[in-house]
Structure 1
Amino acid sequence: MMGSSFLSADRARSPPVKVLSSQLREGTECQTAGGRSEYVIRRLGPGEQRSLQVSVVWMQGTVLEVQSDHNTVLILDETGNFVVSGINSVPKGKPCLSTDLSENALIHRKNWIYEVEDLQQILP
């Protein structure tokens, strides 16, 4: 489980990295030299399996449940369920494009894995 410090609104962090819930479940939390919490995950894709350090993540899935506090949600992605606590303090960006994907939800949900893999393969 992620530590509470893992997802914070710290502006000095890197841009979010697309990940699957299974990558965080299998990853390990570590501290940077500056004392920030990061996760070390295994990259998706073929070839050399280099690790990837992430401090802010972008996760996508179907919301299954919203807790009564409206600050905790249960989400399902292609690799399983995950709980996000503190959603009211999750860093938010300004979208440059917004599209309703509900018409082909199954296709878009299954393609998320390929988006994640593609990004992780090109990151240094």
Structure 2
Amino acid sequence: MSEDLLLQSPPVKVLAAQLRRYSRIPGGQWLLAREEYGRPPLAVPLVWMQGTVFTVDQDGSTVQMQDESGSFRVQGADKVPKGRPCLSAGKYVMVMGQVLSCSPEPILRAVKMTALTDSVLHRNMWGLEVEDLHRNLP
């Protein structure tokens, strides 16, 4: 996927369970299935996810995270801008990234990461934000 396409497409809010239902179309684009919202599949080059950091590998490049629907992995965390330091277990973090794989576990290449631990509202509202987006995004 070209960098131009990545930069032109806004990230779409998703949960780990939704990524597990992604499919790949010829040409390499990922399609997000949205039948539970009564919407057609959506091509999504970039995703926005939020979750709790479980583990960080020793060099800080790979982070294992979990949202309310399951686990996912973030690669390249050591190469992206970060808000406040967010790479430690227990932190609640926002990740924007490119989908690399969806099965058996979603894997993203990080584009941006930001700590959201200081606001309980971010964590409590996340699932509702994702649902609202997919119910209303054509």
Q: TM-score, normalising length from structure 2?
A: 0.63
The reply to whether residue 112 of structure 1 matches residue 115 of structure 2 is no
Q: Is the 8 A contact 2:32 2:41 kept in 1?
A: yes
Cα distance, 1:45 vs structure 2: 5.4
> In the TM superposition, what are the counterparts of 1:36-51 in structure 2 within 5 Å?
37-43=28-34, 46=37, 48-51=38-41
Q: Is the 8 A contact 1:24 1:39 kept in 2?
A: no
Cα distance, 1:116 vs structure 2: 0.6
Deviations 1:53-103 (A, max 9, x none): 10000010000110112110000101111111122253239x9xx8831xx
Change in 2 beyond 3 A, CA 1:116/1:44: farther
Cα distance, 1:12 vs structure 2: 3.0
**Pairs aligned (count):** 105
RMSD over aligned Cα atoms: 2.8
Aligned to 1:22: 17
Cα distance, 1:11 vs structure 2: 4.1
> Amino acid of the residue matched to residue 81 of structure 1?
S
Cα distance, 1:110 vs structure 2: 3.9
Larger proportion of strand: 2
The reply to whether residue 68 of structure 1 matches residue 86 of structure 2 is no
Match of residue 118, structure 2, among 86, 94, 100: 100
In structure 2, runs of 5+ residues without a counterpart are 81-109
SS of 2:32's equivalent in the other structure is strand
Change in 2 beyond 3 A, CA 1:63/1:44: farther
Identity %: 43
The 2-side partners of 1:18 and 1:67 are apart by 25
In structure 1, runs of 5+ residues without a counterpart are none
SS of 2:53's equivalent in the other structure is strand
Q: Is the 8 A contact 1:65 1:74 kept in 2?
A: yes
